Amino acid sequence: MSKIEPLVIIGSGPSGYTAAVYAARAQLSPILLEGSVTAGGALMNTTEVENFPGFKDGIMGPVLMEEMRAQAERFGTRFITDDAVKVDLTGEIKTIEDGSGNKYQAKAVILATGSGYKKIGLAKEETLSGRGVSYCATCDGFFFKEQAIAVVGGGDSAVEEATFLTRFASKVYLIHRRDELRASRIMQKRAQDDPKIEFVWNTEVIDILGEDKVTGVTLKDTKTGETKNLSLTGIFVAIGHIPRSELLIGQIDLDDAGYVLAKPGSTKTNIEGVFACGDLVDHVYRQAITAAGTGCQAALDAERFLASQGIFSA
For 123, the 3-state DSSP assignment is helix
Q: Single out the catalytic residue among 139, 179, 253, 255.
A: 139
Q: Tell me the residue nearest to ligand NAP as measured from the CB.
A: 155
Q: Least separation, in Å, of the C-beta of 283 and ligand NAP?
A: 8
Residue of 20, 112, 33, 12 lying closest to 75 (CA atoms) = 20
Nearer to ligand NAP, 266 or 287 (CB): 287
Nearer to ligand NAP, 35 or 153 (CB): 153
Residue of 260, 59, 287, 256 lying closest to 155 (CA atoms) = 287
Nearer to ligand NAP, 156 or 303 (CB): 156
CA separation, residue 75 to residues 100, 301, 305, 307 (Å):
26, 19, 21, 19
Nearer to ligand NAP, 177 or 220 (CB): 177
Q: Least separation, in Å, of the C-beta of 83 and ligand NAP?
A: 23
Nearer to ligand NAP, 95 or 157 (CB): 157
Q: Which residues contact 130 (CB under 8 A, 6 or more apart)?
A: none
Q: Single out the catalytic residue among 82, 83, 98, 140.
A: 140
Catalytic residue flag (residue 296): no
Q: Least separation, in Å, of the C-beta of 140 and ligand NAP?
A: 17
Spell out a b/e string for 110-144, using b for 16 or more CB atoms within 10 Å of the CB, else e: bbbbbbebeebebebbeebeeebbbbbbbebbeeb
Q: Single out the catalytic residue among 136, 194, 207, 221.
A: 136
Q: Least separation, in Å, of the C-beta of 302 and ligand NAP?
A: 26
* DSSP state string for 173-219: EEE-SSSS--S-HHHHHHHHT-TTEEEE-SEEEEEEE-SSS--EEEE
Query: Do β-strands 227-231 and 4-10 pair in parallel, antiparallel, or remain unpaired?
Result: unpaired
User: Which residues on adjacent β-strands are paired with residue 156?
Assistant: none
Catalytic residue flag (residue 140): yes
| Burial of residue 285 (number of CB atoms within 10 Å: 0-12, 13-18, 19+) | exposed
Q: Least separation, in Å, of the C-beta of 65 and ligand NAP?
A: 14
What residue ranges bind ligand NAP (CB under 6 A)? 51, 120, 152-158, 160, 177-178, 182, 238-241, 286
Give catalytic residues, as residue numbers.
136, 139-140
